[in-house]
């Protein structure tokens, strides 16, 4: 853990900067809340420019989420793809832990499919974009000698920018492993979102690349590519 923190030191952002960016975590800037804490929108000054951000604030004194916190930062720091959310940095100061990403102004995919706000073309392009992100994680070995399994692909972890370009997020449960183990089951607890999680995990005691593919299929074939989501009811 200590070596991981040292490697990520260049991404650290002072707490005072994040306070200013979010107007001291004003409630009016809350744009979401999940298992690990609230997400705040803001504008952070970086290299002389104001950048729109989304700051996910880990619940104070929540030691259970610390490992996931560092895992997500570490993973996002090495993944570089147009359909994966971009990390700006993190804050780890005065008992505050936050992950700061570039803002995805349209929010999560779930917010749109539940209200039938997307056209057929938009749905198709989002589907293709997420497929490209998974392909990059599973099969792109030009930059690295390992593959990545997301483990929690669902309509809440797919974010949309101003142009409805999808950005896969939620890497706190992700795993990476060396390429020559690609066909093996990686031992793992059954972690994921109900309705999207591969049922084979409980049978095999672990995950494979196919676990992400299953979740992708449920997300898009089961909801997004239809006029309504089966999980919005």
CATH code, domain with 80 = 3.30.200.20
Determine contact, residues 151/207, Cβ cutoff 8 Å: yes
Residue 62 reports pLDDT greater than 70: no
Residue 1: per-residue pLDDT: 57
Q: Are residues 21 and 114 in the same domain?
A: no
pTM above 0.85, yes or no: yes
Cα dist from 73 to 27, 68, 101, whole Å:
25, 9, 10
Q: Are residues 24 and 132 in the same domain?
A: no
Q: How far is CA 232 from the centre of its chain?
A: 21
Q: Are residues 111 and 98 in the same domain?
A: no
Q: Are residues 189 and 140 in the same domain?
A: yes
Residue 222: per-residue pLDDT: 61
Domain total of the chain: 2
- The residue assigned the tokens 């975590």 is 25
**Domain range enclosing 92:** 2-102
Structural tokens at position 223: 């909801």
Q: Are residues 159 and 122 in the same domain?
A: yes
Helix (H) or strand (E) holding 132: helix 120-139
Residue 226: per-residue pLDDT: 52
In a domain, 230, yes or no: no
Q: Are residues 91 and 138 in the same domain?
A: no
In a domain, 89, yes or no: yes
DSSP letters of 52-79?
Answer: EEEEEEEPTT-GGGHHHHHHHHHHHHH-
- Calpha distance 188→213 (Å, rounded): 17
Q: Are residues 118 and 190 in the same domain?
A: yes
Q: In what order do the strands lie in the sheet with 96-102?
A: 30-34, 37-46, 49-58, 96-102, 87-93
Please write the tens of the pLDDT for every residue from 69-110.
Answer: 999 999 999 999 999 999 999 999 998 999 999 999 898 998
Determine contact, residues 58/36, Cβ cutoff 8 Å: yes
Last residue of one domain, picked from the residues 52, 86, 102: 102
* CATH number (domain holding residue 143): 1.10.510.10
In a domain, 153, yes or no: yes
Query: Which among 190, 89, 85, 86 is positioned nearest to 130, based on CA atoms?
Result: 85
Q: Are residues 79 and 161 in the same domain?
A: no
Cβ neighbours of residue 47 under 8 Å, at least 6 residues apart? none
Q: Are residues 12 and 43 in the same domain?
A: yes
């Amino acid at each position: 853990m200590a070596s991981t923190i040292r490697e990520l030191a260049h991404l650290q952002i002072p707490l005072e900067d994040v306070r200013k960016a979010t107007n001291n975590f004003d409630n009016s800037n809350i744009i979401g809340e999940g298992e690990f804490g609230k997400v705040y929108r803001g504008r952070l000054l970086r290299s002389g420019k104001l950048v729109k951000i989304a700051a996910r604030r880990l619940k104070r004194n929540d030691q259970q989420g610390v490992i996931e916190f560092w895992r997500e930062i570490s993973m996002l720091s090495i993944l570089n793809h147009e359909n994966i959310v971009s990390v700006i940095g993190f804050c780890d100061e005065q008992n505050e832990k936050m992950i700061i990403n570039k803002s995805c102004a349209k929010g999560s995919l779930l917010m749109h499919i539940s209200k039938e706000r997307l056209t057929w073309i938009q749905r198709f392009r989002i589907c293709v974009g997420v497929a490209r992100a998974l392909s990059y994680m599973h099969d792109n070995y030009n930059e690295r000698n390992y593959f990545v399994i997301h483990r929690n692909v669902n309509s809440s972890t797919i974010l949309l920018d101003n142009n409805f370009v999808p950005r896969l997020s939620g890497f706190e449960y992700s795993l990476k492993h060396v390429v020559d183990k690609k066909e093996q089951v990686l031992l793992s607890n059954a972690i994921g979102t109900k309705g999207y999680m591969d049922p084979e995990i409980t049978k095999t005691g672990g995950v494979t690349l196919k676990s992400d593919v299953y979740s992708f299929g449920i997300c898009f074939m089961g909801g997004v590519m239809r006029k309504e989501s089966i999980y919005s009811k």
